[in-house]
Structure 1
């Protein structure tokens, strides 16, 4: 009888150890479940969706809208880039005294060019009694009109900036 009571004690001890082990696993599972609930609530913050599926569908919709906006921005950027190819991007200025009796370098030549070195050269000649302004077209760095040395210098300065 002593042997059977010691066997029962071992079984009870084993069951207590097993029960403690199950209890520890249950506590660990509850802690992990609470952490998951906190992460779920944090993830759902700011969303009026009641389920993860609805929240994901809302986010997909927002991503689609952002992608459409990005496509519009890219198209606008291309249009702006094309427009900028034809705007004045390079300027060269030369001031000079056209006549010995007029001081202060009041005459000037200004080259205004786009990216392709196309544009115009403006020159203004000042004398004591009048002022004359000339405009000569420039196509890809050259003019069909004869350029003065000052106009050529202004053109070269503008093209050097590119």
Structure 2
């Protein structure tokens, strides 16, 4: 027993140092574990989104309800989008139909109707819509008087016989892109 007491007297310094190192090591382990717990707590709080104390079953149930509500809202937005899309399509079709009725092709040809006149005061003007329907207006200028004529055009063809100048104006209108 005396040997054991002598051993402890001589080894007490070494045992104290080992104990101090062990305690420091344990404090380091506690610090590391404390940081891990704090990280887990932050992640858990983020998961709960400030809902306080709640169990995982309630949390999953709440999230599934939120997902269902989001799906319903998404479905409503999708239906609204389809309605808007259909409305826009109809509007575009109406505008295209109206544009087909508007004058979109114009041919204009000036010329001298009589040899004794200069300055190309006579003209033929072809006005066509998108379907190729319209009219040709011709003005013949003379010293004594002027005459105006109008001829109908259907499907890019004149209803009445055309003069050379009127054919030129019609061809110019047809060739417009």
| TM-score, length of structure 1 as denominator length | 0.69
Higher helix residue share: 2
- The higher relative CO (CA closer than 8 Å, separation ≥ 6) is in 1
Aligned residues: 149
CA RMSD of aligned residues (A): 3.7
Partner of 2:36: 25
1:136 CA drift (Å): 0.9
Secondary structure of 1:74's match?
A: helix
Deviates more, 1:80-89 or 1:19-28: 19-28
Partner of 1:112: 127
Partner of 2:149: 134
Unaligned runs of 5+ in 1: 38-52
CA distance in 1, matches of 2:70, 2:18: 58
CA distance in 1, matches of 2:90, 2:84: 10
| TM-score, length of structure 2 as denominator length | 0.64
Unaligned runs of 5+ in 2: 1-7, 48-65
| Poorly superposed stretches of 4+, deviation over 3 Å | 1-15, 26-34, 59-71
**Cα distance change of structure 1 residues 64 and 102 upon mapping to structure 2, 3 Å threshold:** same
Partner of 1:122: 137
Question: Which of the pair has more CA radius of gyration?
Answer: 2
Residue of 15, 34, 37 corresponding to 2:26: 15
Partner of 2:171: 156
CA distance in 1, matches of 2:79, 2:159: 54
Partner of 1:87: 102
